[in-house]
Chain A
């Protein structure tokens, strides 16, 4: 039976009204918001400017108090210290102390989590490696480019190995390489059972990583669900085919035109994304060892963040060892039957190879047959219409 997932964030009737100097209501930024975020989920908070995303996140972090309604994180109010211990937050912009170096910044934020000096040192070097800023560890954050500042911002959000990571526009200001790394990181965290809340305008990024999203407009939820539920267009379908020569394409178009009768359709070559192409170029440059003073590609996930995963792997190995012993005897019994099976499979493979060869030779003939069948079908369809 599947284990029931813990509710990480619970918002009931969450409302925030901003007031003017005299206490008169000025704007209703968030209006009666109900939503839940579950453990291990990547949750997207989407909406245009002024839709209430930032206000919701600020209430989630205890920086704003709800006018009415309730929001809880791990069952506690957002400003509870117990909650904050489990949260990592990357703001929209880097609000870091510009005179501190990257190392000092991470050390400072580590100290706020009461980490020991040794632990802070260890995590700092791993995080800097992870975000690709090891070479700039001694430089002041104020000297960093925007992208580098985002990276150090991300590193500080990860310093406590948070259970809940709140990312406000995580990829803004980052190069595609950084974007990909952040997305990889989010997916990695998800794999580790961590919860991630993302607020973003870059829908492609959200689409790549989010399990579930809510779309806000005017402080209210306008859409809520998994990406599959929200994005699947059940009225349309797409086909993926190997590359066709012009004649084949023409024939296929003809069939489609005749059958779809005026409905719009298109055939084109699929394109890889610009992001993929960019990453390919950068990887090439890296392989050629071109020098750069900016952020370098991250050195992979920090070791201390992998701890749980390693533990899980160890557990798996131990479990396997125990199971293996039990299975050994069964396997011996099955060995004989396996041999027989493998012999059978080998003979099958040979047969398949022969048939493949035949198929390639027969492919052209098959196409011609298809054409014939098509013709027959179209004739039949025409005759059916006439009879009708």
Chain B
């Protein structure tokens, strides 16, 4: 243990002497102390707290991640290149201990920095909330929407592949029967693929669209039937098209299925109530398009089986279509934990991310020179981002494997399969960015942390580290040319 601790301690000291670390540390201080005081929000009290929390935590996490990558690459590769590693390797310390000692030093130092910056950001957020001259209504809004940890429920998605299949069957039938407008011959495989793709895109685009006067209903599952406190309903409406430009006010009515009993006896007997769609307001409500909005909903909408249904009618004054993006939900939010608990979970996720990045950096640093190691780690993360971007497209729109296979070209299949292959080894670090989640008052689920730990840390990270340590152990240190 003594050699391990000595190496970890020395790593901390070496890190604190690095100029890059000094620069990043100063940047971190600037983010913690200056950024919250210079941020311009949307002018609302909630916006101020939201933005300062989101940016401070996000940017400080980013700086700590950058610093971790740099330092972990530097600590091993520099020691190797300056032959200081020769001096350690000839002592009775295994290279595994050296590697772990270096990693621990980097993780410890950045863990301490994370702890300090998290505490400062937390105290500053609460202080800002308490000292500001917000109205009670505004304070209540912040408490309910930002300074809270709420479980998120997404609406059930329809089976797009089934719809696509139905459309294709109809088309084939039309071709067979020679109906007017239908193609005059059977489609080739390439044409069929193209057509399936077009139909699928149309269906998805249509799914998000609510034409003027029409209703849309969303069904939610797995809600807590014993929930007593009000739920939140979070949504973003686009008018005309899904774009941040040319958005304006629109009109519409939200409604929910509320239980009722036809007679009192049924209620006394505890019979299953009937549900009726009740509009939230008697008059159409006005909504600002292109921004997230939140409403309160009574928990009575949750049925015994944990489901709930919410509906919306488009009453746009210009009779334009309104759009709800599948990514935005709309989400149903259920308060679960306090802000402090949620914030703690966020800090823990950032800490896990630091460990992973330190592991990646140390893996590369033990095998390559400093610039190559940094380049490899950054490339690795970029691969992770781009590969998961390709995968996300299919997941977000509810594509299934079978439908994709039928519709895409050979190149697309190759790209998708490659992305899947890359993601089997590469860690999509951006998936674990939690500052948005915390600032939105959304709960960082234990299942999310467990997923991070098992899928990312144990299944993908650990084998990678084991291979890297093995190669580092076998490396002929004497071959390295001194700087």
Residues in A lying within 8 Å of B, measured CB to CB: 18, 55, 58-59, 61-65, 81-82, 84-85, 87, 89, 91, 93, 95-97, 99-100, 108-109, 111-115, 156
Contact indicator A63/B3 (Cβ below 8 Å): no
Contact indicator A61/B3 (Cβ below 8 Å): no
Residue B181, interface by CB 8 Å: no
Q: Smallest distance from the beta carbon of A17 to chain B beta carbons, Å? A: 12
Which of A59, A61, A108 meets B10, CB within 8 Å?
A108
Which of B10, B83, B93 meets A95, CB within 8 Å?
B83
Contact indicator B14/A99 (Cβ below 8 Å): yes
Residues of B204-244 at the interface with A, using a CB-CB cut-off of 8 Å, are none
Contact indicator B479/A113 (Cβ below 8 Å): no
Say whether, besides A95-B82, A99-B14, A108 and B6 are in contact (CB < 8 Å): yes
- Which residue in chain B gives the minimum CB-CB distance to A99? B17
Contact indicator A91/B92 (Cβ below 8 Å): no
List A contacts of B90 (CB < 8 A).
61-63, 84, 87, 89
Which of B2, B82, B87 meets A156, CB within 8 Å?
B87
Which of B3, B13, B82, B476 meets A64, CB within 8 Å?
B476
Task: Give 10 CB contacts A-B under 8 Å.
Answer: A61-B86, A63-B90, A64-B477, A84-B91, A84-B93, A97-B84, A100-B10, A109-B91, A111-B5, A113-B92
Contact indicator A85/B3 (Cβ below 8 Å): no
**Considering the chains assembled together, what is the distance between the CA atoms of A37 and B86 in angstroms?**
23
Question: Which 9 residue pairs spanning A and B have beta carbons closest together?
Answer: A111-B6, A63-B478, A58-B478, A64-B478, A95-B83, A112-B91, A84-B92, A85-B92, A81-B92
List A contacts of B476 (CB < 8 A).
63-65
Q: Smallest distance from the beta carbon of A192 to chain B beta carbons, Å? A: 21
Residue B113, interface by CB 8 Å: no
List B contacts of A95 (CB < 8 A).
82-84, 86-87
- Which residue in chain B gives the minimum CB-CB distance to A84? B92
**Considering the chains assembled together, what is the distance between the CA atoms of A93 and B483 in angstroms?**
13
**Proximity string of chain B (437-466) to chain A, C-beta cutoff 8 Å, 1 when within and 0 when not:** 000000000000000000000000000000
Contact indicator B13/A99 (Cβ below 8 Å): yes
How many residues belonging to B are interface residues under a CB distance threshold of 8 Å? 25
- Which residue in chain A gives the minimum CB-CB distance to B477? A63
**Considering the chains assembled together, what is the distance between the CA atoms of A153 and B301 in angstroms?**
77
List B contacts of A100 (CB < 8 A).
10, 13
Which among A96, A111, A112 has the highest number of chain B CB atoms within 10 Å?
Answer: A112
The number of residue pairs between A and B whose CB atoms lie closer than 8 Å in the complex comes to 75
Contact indicator A112/B14 (Cβ below 8 Å): no
Contact indicator A115/B2 (Cβ below 8 Å): yes
Residue B112, interface by CB 8 Å: no
Residue B120, interface by CB 8 Å: no
Say whether, besides A63-B476, A84-B91, A99-B14, A111 and B86 are in contact (CB < 8 Å): no
List B contacts of A113 (CB < 8 A).
3, 91-92
Contact indicator A91/B83 (Cβ below 8 Å): yes
Residue B34, interface by CB 8 Å: no
**Considering the chains assembled together, what is the distance between the CA atoms of A65 and B3 in angstroms?**
24
Which among A63, A64, A81, A99 has the highest number of chain B CB atoms within 10 Å?
Answer: A63
List B contacts of A114 (CB < 8 A).
2-3, 92
Residues of B88-145 at the interface with A, using a CB-CB cut-off of 8 Å, are 88-94
List B contacts of A156 (CB < 8 A).
87
Q: Smallest distance from the beta carbon of A226 to chain B beta carbons, Å? A: 28
Q: Smallest distance from the beta carbon of B300 to chain A beta carbons, Å? A: 66
List B contacts of A55 (CB < 8 A).
478
- Which residue in chain B gives the minimum CB-CB distance to A153? B87
Q: Smallest distance from the beta carbon of A149 to chain B beta carbons, Å? A: 12
Contact indicator B479/A64 (Cβ below 8 Å): yes
Q: Smallest distance from the beta carbon of A387 to chain B beta carbons, Å? A: 73
List B contacts of A108 (CB < 8 A).
6, 10
- Which residue in chain A gives the minimum CB-CB distance to B17? A99
Q: Smallest distance from the beta carbon of A53 to chain B beta carbons, Å? A: 13
**Considering the chains assembled together, what is the distance between the CA atoms of A109 and B90 in angstroms?**
11
Q: Smallest distance from the beta carbon of A1 to chain B beta carbons, Å? A: 35
List A contacts of B93 (CB < 8 A).
81, 84, 112
Say whether, besides A97-B14, A97-B84, A99-B13, A112 and B478 are in contact (CB < 8 Å): no
**Considering the chains assembled together, what is the distance between the CA atoms of A59 and B90 in angstroms?**
11
**Considering the chains assembled together, what is the distance between the CA atoms of A108 and B87 in angstroms?**
11
List A contacts of B86 (CB < 8 A).
61, 63, 91, 95
**Considering the chains assembled together, what is the distance between the CA atoms of A64 and B479 in angstroms?**
7
Q: Smallest distance from the beta carbon of A85 to chain B beta carbons, Å? A: 4
List B contacts of A111 (CB < 8 A).
2-3, 5-6
List B contacts of A81 (CB < 8 A).
92-94
Contact indicator B478/A109 (Cβ below 8 Å): no
List A contacts of B88 (CB < 8 A).
112
**Considering the chains assembled together, what is the distance between the CA atoms of A287 and B14 in angstroms?**
42
- Which residue in chain B gives the minimum CB-CB distance to A120? B2
List B contacts of A91 (CB < 8 A).
83, 86-87
- Which residue in chain B gives the minimum CB-CB distance to A60? B90
**Considering the chains assembled together, what is the distance between the CA atoms of A58 and B91 in angstroms?**
13
**Considering the chains assembled together, what is the distance between the CA atoms of A63 and B89 in angstroms?**
8
- Which residue in chain A gives the minimum CB-CB distance to B98? A112
- Which residue in chain B gives the minimum CB-CB distance to A81? B92
**Considering the chains assembled together, what is the distance between the CA atoms of A95 and B84 in angstroms?**
5
**Considering the chains assembled together, what is the distance between the CA atoms of A108 and B84 in angstroms?**
12
**Considering the chains assembled together, what is the distance between the CA atoms of A147 and B2 in angstroms?**
30
Q: Smallest distance from the beta carbon of A196 to chain B beta carbons, Å? A: 16
**Proximity string of chain B (321-337) to chain A, C-beta cutoff 8 Å, 1 when within and 0 when not:** 00000000000000000
**Considering the chains assembled together, what is the distance between the CA atoms of A62 and B9 in angstroms?**
25
Contact indicator B13/A112 (Cβ below 8 Å): no
**Proximity string of chain B (1-30) to chain A, C-beta cutoff 8 Å, 1 when within and 0 when not:** 011011100100110010000000000000
Residues of B409-461 at the interface with A, using a CB-CB cut-off of 8 Å, are none
**Considering the chains assembled together, what is the distance between the CA atoms of A343 and B87 in angstroms?**
65
Q: Smallest distance from the beta carbon of B264 to chain A beta carbons, Å? A: 80
List A contacts of B84 (CB < 8 A).
95-97
- Which residue in chain A gives the minimum CB-CB distance to B88? A112
Q: Smallest distance from the beta carbon of B15 to chain A beta carbons, Å? A: 11
Q: Smallest distance from the beta carbon of A164 to chain B beta carbons, Å? A: 11
Q: Smallest distance from the beta carbon of A185 to chain B beta carbons, Å? A: 19
List A contacts of B94 (CB < 8 A).
81
List B contacts of A115 (CB < 8 A).
2
Q: A84-B92, A112-B88 are in contact. List 10 more A-B contacts (CB 8 A).
A: A59-B478, A63-B476, A89-B87, A91-B87, A95-B83, A95-B87, A99-B14, A111-B3, A111-B6, A114-B2
List B contacts of A93 (CB < 8 A).
83
List A contacts of B478 (CB < 8 A).
55, 58-59, 61, 63-64
Q: Smallest distance from the beta carbon of A200 to chain B beta carbons, Å? A: 19
- Which residue in chain A gives the minimum CB-CB distance to B94? A81
**Considering the chains assembled together, what is the distance between the CA atoms of A82 and B94 in angstroms?**
11
**Considering the chains assembled together, what is the distance between the CA atoms of A62 and B478 in angstroms?**
8
**Considering the chains assembled together, what is the distance between the CA atoms of A99 and B17 in angstroms?**
8
List A contacts of B5 (CB < 8 A).
111
Residues of B49-101 at the interface with A, using a CB-CB cut-off of 8 Å, are 82-84, 86-94
**Considering the chains assembled together, what is the distance between the CA atoms of A99 and B14 in angstroms?**
8
